[in-house]
Structure 1
């Protein structure tokens, strides 16, 4: 049986535990090196034993730990005479608690499948853990080199996921977010340039801070922080070219004629849209309609249906729906194919001759911003049990995108995990499948030990002496 928990994360005692708890992180932050100067040798050993045991197997009784302790510590060193005198010291005493690392509950915590060793123990007892495909219900099961263990993925998400907010908490956060978003959109509409500069400055600071750590895909120049107009111009050109098809060309011709109204349709009518070279071919398409101007009078779905009969959509090599097979329509489709090919080149030339300016980019950006619909009153939300949120960075209620889950959705890691998360060298871990392979026992080598610990060698030296003295 494990020891009972009694104020495990006390901020007064300040013990560091094998846990990702936020109070444990604070204890880790404020922990200072023990002052051995005014202590007797026994006091030094006992204080070191207290500190190390609080982290290494605090849930295990002292009697149980004594049976696990191995006085013969394992280490490896390169047997090369040429390195004599230049090899770093091997911190063998850091291997004092290496025997615990082979326990299944510790392995689960080290592999980041649980937020604490105690939680890993509960997962094992609940039959959510298998070793080599066999369910294991013993937290103290000793892993051997080559053993593969796994945890039910849903339980890992639950164990390491952030806390699920209540409906009231989510509503409070979303209401604040919506209010701030409304203010931002209003200011961006009133003064696009000022809002753009503020966002640019914000992203520039972010990039400077994390440049050597991450590579965020910010659409800003690395050195100046200015917008990369050339890249945006290229993206806009590609987007315009992808939208071109025989059907879109025909629609442009029809819409151009509609805009001309009662005026005579000539090549000049199409020059603005298609240019000097393609205007005559666009006129040919118009003339093929002859006096049958039915397509020029239709709108909406009827217009789309008529266009689809002239230029059908093909699927698996066959046209979908009714298709006009008269000679004039065949010729029309041929001309449209020619225009389509040359129209792509015209778009490229237009963008090359008149690249997009920064002012255009800013104005387009401001136009695309839209205010969010006002959230209903909380009394109404309580009755329905949900409300709709559609912000650029969030789809659905804050932390409750999937209310059926017991953790924050979309899934988010617990806070303060990063500083305490260290992956061991003696394991191969797959987070996608929640599987891990225990490669070998942790060992010490020149300059390092594979046993993960927050304490230095001086503390471990005294802790090892404490247990060694008792003849174990």
Structure 2
């Protein structure tokens, strides 16, 4: 039998999920008006309201378990002024279901404002918020309640320092729960691109400035890779492809080449940001170089990449990048050959070839600060192809509309831990149980569960 679609667009059901289809359903689903039509009985209204709310609040929980969790008590608090409480005992505010006894409005006023009531009916599914899996979802440690349940079952959630594999565990005020940070990064981060190379939009990170010229370093790496390439080819020819015990291919270390691409791209960005004396053509060349360096950087993480091929392409890109006023290719070739022999070159010629020589002292300091920021960002959020999520880490798409935390939770995302402070309560005008349905629908569902079995 074909399984049902979890997020349907023809007959939408609202879910506790960050899925883009669920966000679309939330945006286009109108507020139900079941209590207006005369052709629907009260029983049918309650049944429909109960079905819609159960699709959102803990649809993965069996109905009989929720019925045992249901409570007729609706917790609420009244906002009391401290100065008033110092003068009075609060008996006036305690009258009339905790929000004050209704008084007659002053009809002589120009406009009579409607009194703000306490939405008690929005607290129908407040006991469901005590479940561990739903609390993990509310704390933004998982992208859906089903994923939070999976984290609990797999032992990635701890309650008060102990592994809690039961997603139905009901939290008490003061309980602290913690989720494995790697699971949180996977759940809230952007998915990995095809090919296992991480993000194709790898940001450039600045490295320390080296005394050697980048072109000379690239040419040396290309020469080393060219020397290693024939040996690797001979070893590949000796292997018999039909044998089952063929030797595994040697893993090539691409970190030096990747680091060189990052340094060159960061250096080009810093020159674009700080140097105001560049011409239009020079800036265009630098932007094109940074743009071409991104796909080249992503290729370094693929299995079939070799330092020789990457170095040849990078050397071609660097040779086409000429920031000097003259565009003579022969002079740039002579400068590259001269830079290969640092012992015979004079300091003045080296400074003329170096694009950083034209920077002033203040511009150099700004460049150093910018590079320090790039290095710090690279250390905090590095590129790691072994992670199951995209690196450097980026939040997943369509996450912003769901980025809220209820007041009854105290969350620290640095350590992926949260404290269940208290049970959710209703206040004047607001309720702490997140729900996309109005109070009238919650009231019908509450009346459904009030019936005696």
* TM bucket, shorter chain: 0.5 to 0.7
| 1:123 CA drift (Å) | 0.6
**Does the residue aligned with 1:26 lie in a helix, a strand or coil?**
helix
Whether contact under 8 Å (1:165, 1:400) holds in the other structure is no
| 1:362 CA drift (Å) | 4.7
Measured at CA, do residues 385 and 122 of structure 1 come closer, stay the same or move farther in structure 2, by a change above 3 Å? farther
The unaligned stretches of length 5 or more in structure 2 are: 81-89, 94-99, 104-114, 205-211, 213-273, 318-369
Whether contact under 8 Å (2:192, 2:198) holds in the other structure is no
Give the alignment partner of residue 119 of structure 2, picking from 62, 68, 91: 91
Partner of 1:148: 176
Partner of 2:76: 75
Whether contact under 8 Å (2:198, 2:391) holds in the other structure is no
**Stretches of 4+ aligned residues off by more than 4 angstroms:** 82-87, 168-171, 364-369, 373-382, 385-390
Measured at CA, do residues 361 and 455 of structure 1 come closer, stay the same or move farther in structure 2, by a change above 3 Å? same
Partner of 1:138: 166
Measured at CA, do residues 43 and 153 of structure 1 come closer, stay the same or move farther in structure 2, by a change above 3 Å? same
Whether contact under 8 Å (1:90, 1:445) holds in the other structure is yes
Larger radius of gyration: 1
Partner of 1:107: 135
**Does the residue aligned with 1:52 lie in a helix, a strand or coil?**
helix
| 1:168 CA drift (Å) | 8.6
- Answering whether residue 449 of structure 2 is matched by residue 467 of structure 1, we say yes
Partner of 1:34: 32
Give the distance between the partners of 2:298 and 2:184, measured in 1 at CA.
33
**Does the residue aligned with 1:413 lie in a helix, a strand or coil?**
coil
Measured at CA, do residues 72 and 64 of structure 1 come closer, stay the same or move farther in structure 2, by a change above 3 Å? same
After TM superposition, the structure 1 = structure 2 runs for residues 154-173 of structure 1, keeping only pairs within 5 Å, are: 154-167=182-195
Give the distance between the partners of 1:27 and 1:90, measured in 2 at CA.
28
| 1:422 CA drift (Å) | 2.1
Give the distance between the partners of 1:377 and 1:147, measured in 2 at CA.
46
| 1:421 CA drift (Å) | 2.5
**Does the residue aligned with 2:158 lie in a helix, a strand or coil?**
strand
Whether contact under 8 Å (1:18, 1:56) holds in the other structure is yes
Give the alignment partner of residue 149 of structure 2, picking from 121, 124, 127: 121
- Answering whether residue 420 of structure 2 is matched by residue 438 of structure 1, we say yes
Partner of 2:219: none
| 1:139 CA drift (Å) | 0.5
Partner of 1:424: 406
- Answering whether residue 387 of structure 2 is matched by residue 405 of structure 1, we say yes
Give the distance between the partners of 1:427 and 1:155, measured in 2 at CA.
20
Whether contact under 8 Å (1:129, 1:152) holds in the other structure is yes
Whether contact under 8 Å (1:444, 1:450) holds in the other structure is yes
Partner of 1:58: 59
Whether contact under 8 Å (2:142, 2:187) holds in the other structure is yes
Cα RMSD, aligned residues only: 3.8
Give the distance between the partners of 1:137 and 1:416, measured in 2 at CA.
29
Give the distance between the partners of 2:445 and 2:296, measured in 1 at CA.
61
The unaligned stretches of length 5 or more in structure 1 are: 179-299, 301-359
Whether contact under 8 Å (1:422, 1:452) holds in the other structure is no
